[in-house]
Chain A
């Protein structure tokens, strides 16, 4: 890996962390769902600072081209993050459903009580 590329990567990763922390500070991202992003960022940072670590790891996995290895790693992280998002959405759908049902049952109870009052 050339030094220029390394510097560029480090700059990009710093920007990435700054973005995440800005969002965290503004509370538009909750920390609970950001851990995966942070983890992915840290792994990428380690690999940019110590490229040989990455190259050796990739060779171990049988990938010959470094760039391909890098892409594979990126795609891996993206898929994991997407999966976690789908799981969050599913959980929230479930919660919204329960809320809707409870709310509707309460609304019925309220309606009945109001009618009794009349």
Chain B
């Protein structure tokens, strides 16, 4: 049996976390390959200020509740730790705010199941369907895509997409060493520099139902700067590592 863990980070998502889980369970039921691939999910409640925790408890959801707010990076890497401890073959990150459609879970898993990739990213810009976000944001993502290619040689079309599947080897990498603040772009670089085979598949994303993006407009400049620098540092640190190995 090939076990897949869906990691759902949630911060103040009391309104839509249950509907996300229900949709997820329905989608999992509808997948083929049922005898070969088994899906579980775990919600990581990042110390929400609203009633997310009690909602999860009342609905008997499978969840981990962090006693301190660690931010998206800390929550997701907690999910990877959990996946590593429970020996999952694949971990998929799925945002709790309804942006990611759980119907694509199987599509994200299959390339790893067939050993065609180590990491599979769901990109909304391949077929350019569904929610495409503002043009300013797209430009920012374009710049980061270029910067990632420049620093690691990896071509991606949607580097900020959190919707991604990771195999066992990289679960291990991410559980011990996952970027903290704005983790998605940097995580790609880290994996690539560790020789990951990264594949992108087209997905359709929805506009978030509730909750706020972790990237607010005022912070976008800071976001770009911080992510670009951290990618560069990631690259420089890796160079040193390689020299040591020699």
Residue among A96, A97, A104 making CB contact with B64, cutoff 8 Å: A104
Q: Is the CB of A105 within 8 A of B81?
A: yes
Given A105-B78, A105-B81, A105-B85, also A100-B64 (CB < 8 A): no
Residues of B near A97 (CB, < 8 A) are: 70, 74, 180
Minimum C-beta distance from A10 to chain B (A): 44
Q: Is the CB of A108 within 8 A of B70?
A: no
B224 within 8 A of A: no
Q: Is the CB of A101 within 8 A of B74?
A: yes
Interface string of A82-118 (1 = CB under 8 A from B): 0000000000000011001111110110000000000
Q: Is the CB of A100 within 8 A of B81?
A: no
Q: Is the CB of A101 within 8 A of B63?
A: no
| Chain B residue nearest in CB terms to A108 | B64
Please give the residue numbers on chain B whose beta carbons come within 8 Å of chain A beta carbons, in ascending order: 44, 63-68, 70, 74, 77-78, 81-82, 85, 180
Residue among B70, B74, B82 making CB contact with A105, cutoff 8 Å: B82
Q: Is the CB of B63 within 8 A of A100?
A: no
| Chain A residue nearest in CB terms to B77 | A101
Q: How far is the CA of A62 from the CA of B82 in the complex (A)?
A: 59
Minimum C-beta distance from B183 to chain A (A): 13
Minimum C-beta distance from A54 to chain B (A): 37
Q: How far is the CA of A50 from the CA of B129 in the complex (A)?
A: 75
Residues of B near A105 (CB, < 8 A) are: 64, 78, 81-82, 85
Q: Is the CB of A101 within 8 A of B78?
A: yes
Q: How far is the CA of A55 from the CA of B200 in the complex (A)?
A: 64
Minimum C-beta distance from A93 to chain B (A): 8
Residues of A near B82 (CB, < 8 A) are: 105, 108
Q: Nearest 9 pairs between A and B by C-beta?
A: A101-B78, A104-B66, A108-B64, A100-B68, A104-B64, A97-B74, A105-B82, A101-B81, A100-B66
